Amino acid sequence: MGAGNDRPSFLFDVRDRRFGMRGLSNYRLSCCVNTLLQTFSATWELTDLLDKWDAAGERTDSCNVPQQLKKVLVAMRSDLPQPANHHDFLHCLDRNYIRLSVQHDADEVFLSILNSMQQQMDDKALALDIQNLYKISEETYLECLNCNSVQTLATYQLSLSLHIKEDHNSLEGCMRSFFEHQELSGIDCCFCAKCGKKTPSKQGVKLTSLPPILCVHLKRFRNERGYTRKLGCRVTFPETFDLSEIPREAFLADFAQNDCKYTLYAVVVHSGSAMFGHYTAYVRDRREQRWYYADDSHVGKASWEEVQSTYGGRGRGTAYMLMYRRGSKEGGQQPGCSG
């Protein structure tokens, strides 16, 4: 998605060395990847883990996504004034079927990059540490409404995809809806081994554990009769969020995490329609704890009010992915959090 949008007047083309943020040129419709790279760069837990990786001393592999990601994230932290060179990373993704000159969905590319790190890193313990940064552990359940027998399955997600309604939404409301059980009856009945037949049932999901980095995907694109459209409706989200405030039914009985408080540190923004659009990002600086805006090679300071303008409902850019960090604004994980 490479179409430009109306950039705020404060943006500039060179890196401001005071806050250490470099832009990325739009190369063959790379705005989607550019935006994700800004969020990865702001995730210091990830960059710290990649910095520990030696790749077994092997030569740089032009097809290895984690090697090329580490390389570009190091470049984004350097003191050069021009946009960081990320063409090798883009060509690496192209060799891994995330094609250049093609519009992409940010959540799909995000998950593809994380999956590539699992598959292509030779240090499997470190790869697991990276996965655990984002891993939302869950248990799905199916309960027969005749005999009350329950079938369960342990699963996980790397981003929490939330359905939104075509009117006013809130992040808390979307989460409440996500964890509500769904009743299955009629042609949707499921087979119950205890009853020996298909019976009415209810299904749902419960949280087992929450990760240090919680990625939320707001499902703004909807397929209807072979046509994809974008929902521009309003979705409000807070700067700080406590997941313990959602219904207790969303958690397993033995959920042991003492602190579920999260602070927003990055927002992936989509402008335009489902068929033609552009991605930008707001990210929070680790040291100054203030917001900045990145639109390809253009970066500049921003305010929380400008981040809130991405709620939607006004025909402007809308928040599509939210990155929350467990802990306080100061960037440290709070006591009592388990992985």
Domain ranges of the chain: 31-326
**Residue 272 falls in which region: left (phi positive, over 0), alpha (psi -120 to 50) or beta:** left
Q: Which of 86, 104, 278, 298 is catalytic?
A: 278
Residue 142 to residues 203, 228, 327, Cα–Cα distance (Å): 4, 31, 33
- Told to judge if 278 belongs to the known catalytic residues of this protein, a careful annotator would answer yes
Taking the whole predicted model, whether its pTM rises above 0.75 is answered as yes
Asked if CATH classification 3.90.70.10 holds for the domain at 31-326, the reply, yes or no, is yes
Specify whether the CB–CB gap between 187 and 232 falls below 8 A: no
Specify whether the CB–CB gap between 274 and 229 falls below 8 A: yes
| Beta strands 197-199; 182-184: pairing state | unpaired
Nearest to 73 by CA among 24, 122, 121, 31: 24
Chain Cα centroid distance, residue 293: 17
Q: DSSP letters along 43-101, please?
A: -HHHHHHHHH--GGGPPPPTT-HHHHHHHHHHHHTS--SSPP--HHHHHHHHHTT--TT
Q: Which of 31, 32, 192, 260 is catalytic?
A: 31
- Told to judge if 233 belongs to the known catalytic residues of this protein, a careful annotator would answer no
Q: What pLDDT tens digit does each residue of the chain (339 aa) get?
A: 444 444 554 454 444 444 468 999 999 999 999 999 999 999 999 999 999 998 766 567 999 999 999 999 999 998 788 899 999 999 999 999 999 999 999 999 999 999 999 999 999 999 999 999 999 999 999 999 999 999 999 999 999 999 998 888 999 999 999 999 999 999 999 999 999 999 999 999 999 999 999 999 999 999 887 888 999 999 999 999 999 889 888 999 888 877 899 999 999 999 999 888 999 999 998 888 899 999 999 999 999 999 999 999 876 799 999 999 998 654 444 333 333
| Beta strands 136-144; 201-209: pairing state | antiparallel
Amino acid identity, residue 239? E
